[in-house]
């Protein structure tokens, strides 16, 4: 294959070492190469970068032009440029981390037309100085395209960097003949309309990919002892893997990270309350080392394009499905199996509802928030395919996925209608007695007929509802109450989350509403898992023992190279590429080049070394 080929597929093979375009990459690339504008909506991990990198290379090979990539995230620029240079594509970034001399050097490369891609932050792109440079490039026919990454930043729906992004409409105004490609993983219609409007992309072709992430397995478990559940999940299924654990509060982040460390994991905390350099150090370690578990608030994650995050766990309920999808989407960008795991319980429902109720926002806004929370609760309580529900929320129709907890282990359900009536009438009795309200704990004690101090103090032994629910476990009762709150028949109020009937409780009391609950996963299902019903740990490729040894040797070699080049390991080669080498044991450069992820430049730079590593390990 000639290195002068300008055919997109040749470039994909030769430069990136990939055999075929994915999803809609090919029509997008062709459209942009032909000079059209495009708006690309693709989920995280869908492969957005190649949609502008391949056209940039094609156009550069044809006419030496440079592509300007607008990106808000400095850490990301560094790694993207590193990855391109590793693949033999001349790329650079301009941002505040460069010294004056370094910046001038990059500018010279850009102005000469030798650079293929230049990454810059939006605020730099709109400066008069940079605009003058673009003008000069344009005059000489060296401006090949504009790529606007994270394009949702321009939207009014609450994003950082917005001011800087708004200024980008100047690109189209000044150089209407230069093709533009805007990219985002944010799917909703409002944001999309906003991007088109503000970036003046009315004539752009819109490419919408399915937002499904088939390699992510969704699991939502009932909260029992959240930390222990998390630990069991990580130990059983993700020993040694990199993952993110989301918690709601900074305090919980710190405590959970410390506890996981005590339990022998490599966990680091991350939240907005930590010093900037601590945050940077932790993020760096997460990106560069293997098997780090990042315990974080939602402050962590934007722009994290580490491809081999194997799990995202939620110890607290997110605000809505959008957040849940965005956060879980950080798992498995490399397309290999990954887990989105959440533990969820009564307190989550109560807390999220409270946060909305007590926020100073207007009533209409709160109504919107409640509706979004309801959709998430419905997902959490669902007995049917989680993915079908998730995708439906984003307007996509699909069929049962076979890769979520409910598909894999269809939950047994039980009819909780009668139990719900008992619970509600007990709340009613409390109220009737002295106008009093109590929280879930006491309510459950009364239903189960427990003789506690509080029961004695309030004389609740004498209630007609005392002990009428002794047949159900505490966990089952919590499930009933959780669902009653989720469905809005009960409301938790005040400092002590005391429970109160709502208007709609009457329908349940009259027996007009049927309540079907999942059987708490605990008793019946734990046994199954213990007998091996759990699944195998996802490995890139199943390797035998010798294969594992070769894989380990390759990883050690890669760590060395990554350190030398000051880059994360995955920039050198992905896990999947190394695993494929370990499995196929290529013995020649030619055989090596057939492995996905091995492009011409990497073959030249590392081929001999790799063959030596592979040969050096006893077969």
Nearer to ligand ADP, 306 or 387 (CB): 306
Long-range Cβ contacts of 188-195 (<8 Å, 24+ apart):
188/322, 188/394, 189/395, 190/155, 190/157, 191/152, 191/155, 191/157, 192/39, 192/41, 194/154, 194/155, 194/156, 194/157, 195/39, 195/151, 195/152, 195/154, 195/155
Least Cβ distance, residue 21 to ligand ADP (angstroms): 5
- Binding residues for ligand ADP, rule CB under 6 A, total 16
- What gap in Å lies between CA 3 and CA 458, rounded to an integer? 85
Indicate whether 401 belongs to the interface with Zn ion (CB under 5 A). Answer: yes
Kindly tell me which of 180 and 389 has the beta carbon lying closer to Zn ion: 389
Quick one: 511 exposed, middle or buried, by C-beta within 10 A (0-12, 13-18, 19+)? exposed
Q: Tell me which residues in 332-351 interact with ligand ADP (CB under 6 A).
A: 333-334
Which DSSP helix (H) or strand (E) runs through 166?
A: helix 162-166
Give yes or no for a contact between 79 and 567, defined as CB atoms under 8 angstroms apart.
yes
Of 21 and 458, the one with the shorter C-beta distance to ligand ADP is 21
Closest CA to 430 of 454, 468, 389, 458: 458
**Is 387 an interacting residue with respect to Zn ion (CB under 5 A)?**
yes
User: Which residue in 150, 171, 148 sits closest to 159, CA to CA?
Assistant: 150
Q: At its nearest, how many Å lie between ligand ADP and the CB of residue 47?
A: 3
Measured CA distances, 164 to 93, 161, 167 (Å): 17, 6, 6
Answer left, alpha or beta for residue 241, where phi above 0 means left and psi between -120 and 50 means alpha: beta
What are the tokens at 517? Answer: 């609950």
Closer Cβ to Zn ion, 123 or 396, answer by number: 396
Q: Which residue has the tokens 């790529």?
A: 147
User: Residue 385 interacts with Zn ion (CB under 5 A)?
Assistant: yes
Nearest to ligand ADP by Cβ — which residue? Answer: 47
Site stretch for ligand ADP (CB under 6 A), options 19-27, 134-142, 271-279, 411-419: 19-27
Site track for ligand ADP across 281-320, x = CB under 6 A = ------------------------x-x-------------
| Partner interacting with residue 401 (select from ligand ADP, Zn ion, none; CB below 5-8 Å by kind) | Zn ion
Which of the choices Zn ion, ligand ADP, none does residue 404 contact, using the CB cut-off of 5 to 8 A by kind?
A: Zn ion
Comparing CB distances to Zn ion, the nearer of 214 and 534 is 214
Q: Which one of ligand ADP, Zn ion, none interacts with residue 385, CB within 5 to 8 A by kind?
A: Zn ion
18 binds ligand ADP (CB under 6 A): yes
- What's the CA gap between 207 and 313, in Å, rounded? 31
Q: Are 42 and 182 in contact (CB under 8 A)?
A: no
Nearer to ligand ADP (CB atom), residue 42 or residue 89: 42
Which range, of 5-13, 246-254, 406-414, 570-578, touches Zn ion by CB under 5 A? 406-414
For residue 325, the surrounding DSSP H or E stretch is: helix 321-328
Structure tokens at 177: 């003949």
Residue 183 CB, shortest distance to Zn ion, in Å, is 28
Q: Which does 47 bind (CB under 5 to 8 A by kind): ligand ADP, Zn ion, none?
A: ligand ADP
- Among Zn ion, ligand ADP, none, partner that 122 touches (CB below 5 to 8 angstroms by kind): none
Q: How far apart are CA 231 and CA 254, in angstroms?
A: 16
Provide the minimum distance between the beta carbon of 17 and ligand ADP in the complex, in angstroms, as a whole number. Answer: 9
Between residues 551 and 570, which has the closer beta carbon with respect to ligand ADP? 570
Query: Using CB under 6 A as the criterion, what x/- string covers residues 24-53 for binding ligand ADP?
Result: -x----------------x-xxxxxxx---
Closest CA to 220 of 353, 73, 404: 404
Residues contacting Zn ion: total by CB under 5 A: 5
Residue 404 within binding range of Zn ion, rule CB under 5 A:
yes
Interaction partner, residue 407 (ligand ADP, Zn ion, none; CB < 5-8 Å by kind): Zn ion
Structure tokens at 158: 């609450």
Does residue 22 interact with ligand ADP by CB under 6 A?
yes
Give residues in contact with Zn ion (CB under 5 A): 385, 387, 401, 404, 407
Give residues in contact with ligand ADP (CB under 6 A): 18, 21-22, 25, 42, 44-50, 305, 307, 333-334
């Amino acid at each position: 294959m000639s290195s002068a080929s300008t055919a997109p597929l040749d470039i994909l093979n030769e430069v990136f070492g990939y055999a075929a375009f994915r999803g809609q990459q090919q029509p997008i690339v062709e459209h942009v190469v032909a000079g059209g504008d495009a708006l690309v909506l693709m989920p995280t991990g869908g492969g957005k970068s190649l949609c502008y990198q391949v056209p940039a290379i094609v156009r550069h090979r044809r006419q030496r032009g440079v592509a300007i990539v607008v990106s808000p995230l400095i850490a990301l620029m560094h790694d993207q440029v590193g990855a391109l240079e590793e693949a033999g594509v001349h790329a650079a970034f301009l941002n505040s981390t460069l010294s004056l001399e370094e910046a001038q050097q990059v500018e010279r490369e850009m102005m000469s037309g030798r650079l293929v891609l230049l990454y810059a932050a939006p605020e730099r792109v709109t400066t008069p100085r940079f605009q003058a440079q673009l003008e000069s490039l344009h005059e000489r026919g060296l401006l090949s395209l504009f790529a606007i990454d994270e394009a949702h930043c321009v939207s009014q729906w609450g994003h950082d960097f917005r001011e800087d992004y708004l200024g980008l409409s100047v690109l189209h105004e000044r150089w209407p003949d230069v093709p533009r490609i805007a990219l985002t993983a944010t799917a909703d219609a409002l944001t999309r309309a906003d991007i088109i409007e503000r970036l003046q992309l009315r004539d752009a072709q819109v490419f919408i990919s399915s937002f499904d992430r088939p390699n992510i397995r969704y699991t939502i478990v009932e909260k029992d002892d959240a930390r222990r559940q998390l630990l069991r999940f990580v130990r059983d299924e993700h020993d040694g893997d990199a993952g993110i654990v989301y918690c709601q509060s900074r305090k919980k982040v710190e405590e959970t990270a410390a506890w996981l460390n005590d339990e022998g994991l490599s966990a680091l905390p991350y939240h907005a309350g930590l010093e900037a350099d601590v945050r940077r150090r932790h993020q760096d370690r997460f990106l560069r080392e293997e098997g780090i578990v990042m315990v974080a608030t939602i402050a962590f994650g934007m722009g994290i394009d580490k491809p081999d995050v194997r799990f995202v766990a939620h110890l607290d309920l997110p605000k809505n499905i959008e957040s849940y999808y965005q956060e879980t989407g950080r798992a498995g960008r490399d397309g290999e199996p990954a887990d989105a795991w959440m533990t969820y319980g009564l307190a989550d429902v109560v807390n999220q509802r409270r946060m909305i109720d007590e926020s100073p926002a207007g009533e209409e806004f709160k109504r919107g928030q409640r509706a979004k929370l309801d959709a998430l609760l419905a997902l959490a309580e669902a007995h049917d395919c989680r993915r079908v529900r998730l995708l439906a929320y984003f307007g996509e129709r699909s069929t049962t996925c076979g890769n979520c907890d409910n598909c894999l282990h269809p939950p047994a359900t039980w009819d909780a209608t009668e139990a719900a009536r008992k619970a509600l009438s007990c709340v009613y009795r409390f109220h009737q007695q002295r106008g009093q309200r109590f929280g879930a704990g006491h309510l459950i004690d009364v239903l189960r007929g427990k003789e506690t101090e509080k029961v004695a103090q309030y004389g609740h032994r004498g209630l007609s509802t005392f002990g009428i629910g002794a047949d159900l476990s505490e966990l089952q009762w919590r499930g009933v109450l959780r669902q009653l709150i989720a469905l809005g028949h009960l409301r938790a109020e005040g400092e002590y989350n005391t429970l109160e009937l709502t208007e709609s409780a009457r329908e349940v009391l009259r027996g007009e509403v049927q309540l079907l609950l999942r059987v708490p996963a605990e008793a019946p299902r734990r046994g199954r898992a213990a007998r091996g019903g759990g699944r195998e740990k996802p490995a890139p490729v199943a390797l035998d023992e010798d294969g594992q040894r070769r894989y380990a040797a390759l990883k050690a070699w890669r760590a060395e190279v990554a350190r030398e080049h000051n880059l994360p390991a995955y920039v050198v080669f992905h896990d999947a590429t190394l695993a494929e080498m370990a499995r196929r044991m290529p013995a020649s450069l030619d055989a090596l080049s057939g492995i996905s992820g091995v492009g011409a430049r990497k073959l030249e730079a590392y081929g001999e070394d790799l063959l030596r590593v592979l040969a050096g390990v006893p077969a």
